Amino acid sequence: MTDVATLAGRLQQRAGEDLYDRIFVRDLILDCHIGVYEEEKGVTQKVGFSVEAAVAPDVASRHDQIAEVPSYDNLVEAVHATLAEGHINLVETMAEHIADQILDDKRIVWVRVRIDKLERGPGAVGVEIVRPRGAGRHSVL
């Protein structure tokens, strides 16, 4: 049986997650060099990207200036920079590279990257990852 204190802690944690402002880009469709199979090499495929990032609570635009806050443009730039690396075999690797670039901005608390390969079967297939600050190479010192 779960006690009241445990339930209250879970509710507080969930409420805290909702306090973050989020920036996002959804359904960005680009031609990519992606895939591990021979038939995927040397050709492009249509791939969909949806990226969401939570902004630290103390980050705000005090003077109505874009430089004061992370922008959805930063998310799009991270996708394009990853694609500029050339052919990537795995969508998981592509998602990690995008997440790493976004988490380079210390104002980002966590990032969610979803990649859909739109031409690889009946419907979309892909991967979605969520990476918090403090995981992997973005550990808090």
**pTM to 2 decimal places:** 0.82
pLDDT per residue as tens digits for the range 18-72 = 688 999 999 999 999 999 999 999 999 999 999 999 999 888 878 888 888 899 9
The two structure tokens encoding residue 52? 């969401």
DSSP 34-76: B-SSGGGTTS-EEEEEEEEEEEPTT---SSS-GGGS--HHHHH
Question: Which residue has 């075999």 as its token pair?
Answer: 89
Report the alpha-carbon distance of residue 54 to residue 2 in Å, rounded: 30
Domains observed in the chain = 21-138 (3.30.1130.10)
